[in-house]
Structure 1
Amino acid sequence: MKTILICAALLSAALAAPAQAIDMEVEVSGLTQSEGRVMVGVFSDAGTWLKKGSGGASVEANQQKDGRVLIKLQDLPEGSVGLSVFHDVNGNGKLDSNAMGSPKEPYGFSNNAAGVFGPPKFEKAQFEVKAGARVSVQLN
């Protein structure tokens, strides 16, 4: 009986433990300039999609080779996420847009999702996070 109680306690503790954070890589292609930074935003649900990220990373664009750069994402939550990527050419920390609201800097999304008259829905960009995986994003 004591063994059963110990096993039950261990199982209960394991189930109550927080989910393990996951690391993965994003390969961004389509870079045509080496100025600025390539920025990746991580979004964990449709309610915060493109508004409030749950993480992210960036690298200097001059680290590119043949128009590609590799960015490591760390401590991602388990489950589904969507990525927003852009090349901040002028280094001001934001995606610049023209008077009509269209982006003036190269951008892309996970799954190479595209929207109609605006950004794609979260559901088009979301994917399951897998440790050690590499996701590819093509900049427009």
Structure 2
Amino acid sequence: MINILLILTLSLAVLTPQTLSNPKLDIQINHAKSDKGMIRVLIFSKETGFPDQPAKALKSLSIQPKNKAGLLSISDLPTGKYAVSVIHDEDNDGKLTTNAVGYPIEKFGFSNNPKVYFSPPSFEKASFELGSEPQRIQIELR
């Protein structure tokens, strides 16, 4: 009986570290236009839906900007490849507001801060590897 309990305990000990070893990801968001509205963050683990389809994002989070910035700490992502898109939803309507020709008038940004010309960056340009160590990324809104 003691051997069975020991085996069960060791089995659980082997399985538990995998679920507890998710690394911490800090996302620092800078240069919001103001402290109005919300900063909306989408985290994708694949290119499908990137960068603007919340239903296809792995995570969809919102934070209140403070001092024109925001910080998110996430500890439930497994190691892997991710891309993050962010908007400063200043009018709090849940979407990126654009002008008559489709150019954004609210600030936006992506992980890796890739250059943006006439369309959003690809998942590959915005993606990064989250390893087993804690990681901090900075997203500069523009």
TM-score where L is the length of structure 2: 0.76
The DSSP-based 3-state class of the residue aligned with 1:123 is helix
Q: Does the CA-based 8 Å contact 1:55-1:76 persist in structure 2?
A: no
| C-alpha deviation, 1:18, in angstroms | 6.9
| C-alpha deviation, 1:113, in angstroms | 1.4
Distance 1:18 1:94, change over 3 A: same
Q: Which residue identity is paired with 2:73?
A: K
Which runs of 5 or more structure 1 residues have no equivalent in the other structure? Answer: 1-5
Tell me the residue number matched to 1:137.
139
Aligned residues: 126
Tell me the residue number matched to 2:120.
119
Which runs of 5 or more structure 2 residues have no equivalent in the other structure? Answer: 1-6
Q: Does the CA-based 8 Å contact 2:23-2:135 persist in structure 1?
A: no
Quick one: distance in 1 between partners of 2:19 and 2:48? 23
Quick one: distance in 2 between partners of 1:81 and 1:45? 7
**Aligned alpha-carbon RMSD (Å):** 2.3
Q: Deviations over 1:44-86 (max 9, x none)?
A: 112232232111322112xx23x32212234223211000011
Quick one: distance in 1 between partners of 2:93 and 2:24? 27
Tell me the residue number matched to 1:53.
57
Distance 1:76 1:116, change over 3 A: same
Quick one: distance in 2 between partners of 1:125 and 1:31? 19
Q: Is 48-57 or 87-96 further displaced after alignment? A: 48-57
| C-alpha deviation, 1:129, in angstroms | 1.3
The DSSP-based 3-state class of the residue aligned with 1:111 is coil
Q: Percent identity?
A: 32
| C-alpha deviation, 1:92, in angstroms | 1.1
Q: Does the CA-based 8 Å contact 1:96-1:104 persist in structure 2?
A: yes
1:21-36 correspondence runs (5 A): 21-36=22-37
2:92 counterpart of 1:88? no
